[in-house]
Structure 1
């Protein structure tokens, strides 16, 4: 953009009273969304009520990437002046949690006092008639000095932290609770009771199962703990993210383009933000546009190359690790994935898996099947919705990748189901699917471009 064009654009925005927004402030895949924050239907007003209720502690849980941190950061400022917090790891100790909170509060205590007195005596004389009048002046001053030390180097405790937080109207936010060790979780559960008794506020964020753990370590929390499950985003919520960004940047995503972005996002706001960010970036949209720009499927193609072009190796590695086994016998992981294509289902519960295995996998071991199912969830290949007790392939791109590489087996199992999958994921002909190579990730893009 030329210097003259920049001046023209600046004058346009000034006289049109349109505010300029930077692209990286609108679509934020690695940060909490502020300008494009979408109210979550599953949370509702009860979350705000729990925030406002003194002594009521909060646990926010859900899948990694479901938007827990975004919800917390968007809501806490309604009732609190500030926050202190820490993102936990498996190595985080309880003492580190307390020290981090005290450090963020920047509390000081007086450990030493000193007082200094100064005295000044002076004389001055002046002539008055024939008599010399002398005047003596006596001045004194006193100063005091306090030596303050950060609380981080002084004695700390849960009680002091709770009182300090309440006094300053600050809430304590602990993220990734599920990564903490058992001993730390136990101590944190006891700390929650202290916060409840003193009227302070703590918000804990973790994966599904976190509330049960806290109640296991401290049964007294039953009526003192508010639990909020944050599911993956609905399609309408993902559409709202795109629409909010359109208004701020003065761009328009065509409807079929939006639909593909939403399908590929699969409930993850971060993926939606990343795809929109990439799409604007490759079209040289770095901030609010003076003239509205229209973005369609043609623009999305290059975006997908940018987004998944560097994931070829990781997808192949995940596929090999999950499904390729050297030992003889049933490959349970592969059979579990094949179940989706045999049944034509995107989401399956345990009973559906058992029925399919009984019909198509001879002499299988339920214990080995259950172990493989659990392993696929831990590896991130499958998502498990604890509320609905259902499993789904976590990533639509990986779904298509598995489909292409298992195509021969799927074809021999159920040709009719194969045609349905083709219609569902792509409009390219079957010969082209067969020609796709195992290791070329970018060959999947034509298939993704035609998702319905």
Structure 2
């Protein structure tokens, strides 16, 4: 990429878009992704926590490998028909519904008698009096084979964003479509489906079709370590001609809890607080240490609805359970006052209010709190067989909400002071723990 002289702040720190200039290479993942992209017939499942950089990683690697793609963003409630129609709409596939051709005129396509192909590849020679009526192929019955053929003819691959939101009854059919895409790769080497989803997404595909086990490349995008997050900030400093004081960069890194999206958001707010909107054109600017607190307050205000949504999603009651409702389990995690907690420790905390509590299904419910259905409010540490809150912000929010018995009505302004005080304690604990983990 040709380097410009000046950059806008929003080009460098991009919390809501794939990172471009501040993209961080993660060698082991990039190597596996490159191999999978260049292996004909190999379908891809890219999974990991929300905000861990899955889309950024894929976007940059596709650009590097000069591969084109169409992207369908899956949303809750979308059916398989909706997903397929979205792909066809992007391809702009048409068929001839009526032809009135005078002598000397001709029209042809490369796919079949009924379909004459993708709009961009349509070849025709018509007299000025010839009349052709074309309709989108979306109106016709679409089979997996037809879908593979059209996407293959376009020389593209198909990306399914937020694959985990696809309805369970449709995931089995999508697994079958993946198999068809694999078979069709003999004719179209670049044809493949790339599904991006939450933790356990790859397991779901294999669960619906065990035959896909050796035909899918499962690529986990883990949380970023301290050095990766520092590299984002260092790149930003270079492009914007600024310097983050060490205390500020350390806080941003620690409070991000391994999520580059949070690093981008906090860095953006710190720059805005220092009136940095583009590359400084004269001497290098060292940002004010005190500006971090103002940026953090802005972050809390801006994300209060997000915290509320996460808490409500995580604690919603589908089936009421004695001593094992989500809010009761989260409270049992909190009262331990530890960063990581085991199933046994959660069970002992629940027994404080229910001496007869058995906890036979507790692990199942704790695991459920790590899924997208419960907003990934907890994470699981497989090395220590323990659980912890996904980030210090939501942990502090839960403490305030549960302490005030807040369920669906969280008054952000009323509880902001208490939230801030609680958060300060949690952020300091998180900072020490995070730095200790990566200094070992």
TM (norm. structure 1) is 0.73
Secondary structure of 1:86's counterpart equals strand
Secondary structure of 1:285's counterpart equals coil
Deviations 1:323-371 (A, max 9, x none): 9xxx9979543232222x2xx5x23443565688899996542136446
The alpha-carbon distance between structure 1 residues 439 and 381, as it changes in their structure 2 partners (threshold 3 A), is: farther
Within 2, Cα distance between the matches of 1:43 and 1:258?
25
Give the aligned partner of residue 170 of structure 2. 184
Q: CA deviation at 1:80?
A: 4.8
- CA RMSD of superposed structures (Å): 3.6
Deviations 1:180-208 (A, max 9, x none): 11221111010011000001211011112
1:67 is aligned, of 43, 50, 53, to 53
2:267 is aligned, of 276, 281, 293, to 276
Q: CA deviation at 1:251?
A: 0.7
Deviations 1:211-270 (A, max 9, x none): 222112222212211101111221211111111111111111011211100111101111
Secondary structure of 1:173's counterpart equals strand
The alpha-carbon distance between structure 1 residues 99 and 404, as it changes in their structure 2 partners (threshold 3 A), is: closer
Secondary structure of 1:44's counterpart equals helix
Secondary structure of 2:102's counterpart equals strand
1:34 is aligned, of 20, 45, 58, to 20
Q: CA deviation at 1:19?
A: 1.2
Within 1, Cα distance between the matches of 2:207 and 2:309?
38
* Cα contact 2:323–2:354 (8 A) shared by 1: no
Q: CA deviation at 1:21?
A: 0.7
Give the aligned partner of residue 125 of structure 1. none
TM (norm. structure 2) is 0.75
Give the aligned partner of residue 432 of structure 1. none
Q: CA deviation at 1:164?
A: 2.4
* Cα contact 1:66–1:267 (8 A) shared by 2: yes
Within 2, Cα distance between the matches of 1:405 and 1:115?
71
Greater share of strand residues, 1 or 2? 1
* Cα contact 1:36–1:241 (8 A) shared by 2: yes
Secondary structure of 1:246's counterpart equals helix
For 1:12-27, list aligned pairs within 5 A: 19-27=5-13
Is 1:303 the counterpart of 2:289 in the alignment?
no
Q: CA deviation at 1:157?
A: 2.4
1:350 is aligned, of 325, 329, 343, to 343
Paired residues in the alignment total: 380
* Cα contact 1:322–1:333 (8 A) shared by 2: no
The alpha-carbon distance between structure 1 residues 184 and 313, as it changes in their structure 2 partners (threshold 3 A), is: closer
1:209 is aligned, of 166, 179, 200, to 200
* Cα contact 2:333–2:341 (8 A) shared by 1: no
Deviations 1:6-54 (A, max 9, x none): xxxxxxxxxxx96111111111111111111112345131211110111
Secondary structure of 1:192's counterpart equals helix
The alpha-carbon distance between structure 1 residues 18 and 406, as it changes in their structure 2 partners (threshold 3 A), is: same
Give the aligned partner of residue 424 of structure 1. none
The alpha-carbon distance between structure 1 residues 328 and 164, as it changes in their structure 2 partners (threshold 3 A), is: closer
* Cα contact 2:400–2:419 (8 A) shared by 1: no
* Cα contact 1:80–1:171 (8 A) shared by 2: no
Deviates more, 1:186-195 or 1:71-80: 71-80
Give the aligned partner of residue 84 of structure 1. 70
Secondary structure of 1:43's counterpart equals helix
Secondary structure of 1:367's counterpart equals coil
Is 1:265 the counterpart of 2:243 in the alignment?
no
The alpha-carbon distance between structure 1 residues 313 and 108, as it changes in their structure 2 partners (threshold 3 A), is: closer
1:442 is aligned, of 409, 416, 420, to 420
Secondary structure of 2:277's counterpart equals coil
Is 1:336 the counterpart of 2:352 in the alignment?
no
Give the aligned partner of residue 221 of structure 1. 212
Give the aligned partner of residue 98 of structure 1. 84
Within 1, Cα distance between the matches of 2:237 and 2:133?
55
Q: CA deviation at 1:76?
A: 2.0
The alpha-carbon distance between structure 1 residues 361 and 322, as it changes in their structure 2 partners (threshold 3 A), is: farther
Give the aligned partner of residue 116 of structure 1. 102
Within 2, Cα distance between the matches of 1:169 and 1:317?
40
Within 1, Cα distance between the matches of 2:401 and 2:254?
21
Secondary structure of 1:146's counterpart equals strand
Deviations 1:97-120 (A, max 9, x none): 1111111112222333222359xx
Deviates more, 1:176-185 or 1:438-447: 438-447
* Cα contact 1:56–1:226 (8 A) shared by 2: yes
1:256 is aligned, of 229, 247, 268, to 247
Within 2, Cα distance between the matches of 1:105 and 1:58?
21
For 1:317-332, list aligned pairs within 5 A: 332=329
State which structure, 1 or 2, has the greater radius of gyration over its C-alpha atoms: 1
Secondary structure of 1:85's counterpart equals strand
Q: CA deviation at 1:173?
A: 0.4
1:395 is aligned, of 386, 391, 396, to 391
Within 2, Cα distance between the matches of 1:329 and 1:196?
48
* Cα contact 2:269–2:295 (8 A) shared by 1: yes
